[in-house]
Amino acid sequence: MEILQNKVFFLLETFQGRPYVQAAIVFALSIVLAYALSAVVKRLCNKIANVARFNLDNEIALIIHAPVVYSVLMVGFIVALFILDLPETFHAVAVSILKSANILIWMVFAIRLSRLLLRASAKNQSRIKIIHPQSLPLFENLAVLLVIGFSIYLTFQTWGINMTAWLASAGVLGIAIGFASKDTLSNFIAGIFILADAPYKIGDYVVLDTGERGAITDIGIRSTRMLTRDDVELTIPNAIMGNTKIINESGGPYQKFRIRIPVSVAYGSDIAQAKAILLDLTKDNPIVCPYPEARVRLRQLGASGLDLELLCWVEHPSQRGLAIDELLTIIYNAFNQAGLEIPFSKQDLYIKEMPGGMVVMPKPTRPGYDLIFLSFSIART
């Protein structure tokens, strides 16, 4: 290192009195130093990543290459400007521009690095349990805000701007904006709590208190978007989502969803046979999950028959309608083949005696009802 420093000084002394040549030499040396330092930083990042066991060595090395190279180049350019002995005003503006550009480059690097580390932490639950896939968008947004805020502060300091007056103005302006946009702020605060609490995540099937059911497609700071089964997208303010009852059908230890199919058989039917038929129908059905196993329960002795209920699971809540349609069709055909009667509502009318002039006229009945139609003949007076 000392030998290299002596050679640099020797070159500069050789071209004494020729500032443009000296500036070019300094800039050329900064290019060589930039790429050499970039290689060293890559190796250091690889060692740190291996120790941390994040398996991010290649990704960190890729994103750190540009800021290291550009930073060293800008330092070399600033030193070259000093050698040229330019006017003070021009020199100050040029240095401030270079520093601001350097801050911007490192700001982009910090944002990319924070997202990379947060996503790695979300996948590795043994590290930081508070960072998980549901709360990841919240921490990503907070990291971006912090990095941008700190970068703006450094930029103001570079240009010699006093931050005190700006902060006071921002406080007064913030109060005015708060009163003018209280609904937006309530949605923003509710969005932060939703991202932190994570009652649902993108892709979950939820049912709102108002009856809408669909998949969550986006969770933003202001609103949540849901795609219904009719392929209609709903945009719901987060303030409403935070204060309403939400049923998350995809929540729990897994996304499997249990469906309930009520089935009735007539009194006098073999209950064991009916249960066996229902269970056999679910064993080889590809839409029904083999585990947990399907089961059949006798719920009550109904008014018209024995009320059974078939309980089985599907892989995803979106398959509920398809599974119910397919199973009901199979159950109806299987019960007909087995001779099991599916009861339906009936009404019987008993007539104790026939009044004079009244004639009983049977007519075709509607499906599901046994009625006796009476025809009255009124004697003319």
Q: Which of 197-206, 267-276, 281-290, 312-321 has the lowest mean pLDDT?
A: 197-206
pLDDT tens-digit series, residues 298-334: 999 988 899 999 999 999 898 999 999 999 999 999 9
Residue 72 has a pLDDT of: 82
What is the biggest distance separating any 2 CA atoms in the chain, rounded to whole angstroms? 143
Please indicate whether residue 202 or residue 43 has the higher confidence score (pLDDT): 202
Residue 126 has a pLDDT of: 62
Residue 265, pLDDT > 50, answer yes
Residue 373 has a pLDDT of: 43
Kindly tell me the sign of the dihedral angle through the C-alpha atoms of 252, 254, 256, 261: negative
Rounded CA-CA distance 235/241 in Å is 10
Residue 271, pLDDT > 50, answer yes
Q: Map tokens 């049977």 to a residue.
A: 362
pLDDT tens-digit series, residues 320-370: 999 999 999 999 999 999 999 998 877 777 777 766 655 555 544 444 444
Residue 314, C-beta contacts closer than 8 angstroms, at least 6 positions apart = 256, 257, 259, 287, 288, 289, 320, 323
- Select, from the ranges 113-117, 134-138, 311-315, the one with the highest average predicted confidence (pLDDT): 311-315
Residue 298 has a pLDDT of: 95
Percent of all residues in the chain with a pLDDT value above 70, rounded to a whole number: 75
Residue 381, pLDDT > 50, answer no
Rounded CA-CA distance 213/54 in Å is 38
Percent of all residues in the chain with a pLDDT value above 90, rounded to a whole number: 28
Cβ(158)–Cβ(96) below 8 Å: yes
Residue 272 has a pLDDT of: 94
Cβ(306)–Cβ(263) below 8 Å: no
- Which band of pLDDT confidence, cut at 50, 70 and 90, is reported for residue 139? confident
- Which band of pLDDT confidence, cut at 50, 70 and 90, is reported for residue 158? confident
* pLDDT averaged over every residue in the chain: 79
Task: Give me Rg for the CA atoms of the chain.
Answer: 38
Residue 235, pLDDT > 80, answer yes
pLDDT tens-digit series, residues 53-109: 555 656 776 787 788 888 888 888 777 777 776 677 777 888 888 889 889 999 999
Mean pLDDT, residues 206-234 taken together: 90
* pTM for this model (two decimals): 0.53
- Which band of pLDDT confidence, cut at 50, 70 and 90, is reported for residue 47? low
Residue 374 has a pLDDT of: 43
CA dihedral 8, 11, 16, 17 (to 10 degrees): -100
Mean pLDDT, residues 142-159 taken together: 88
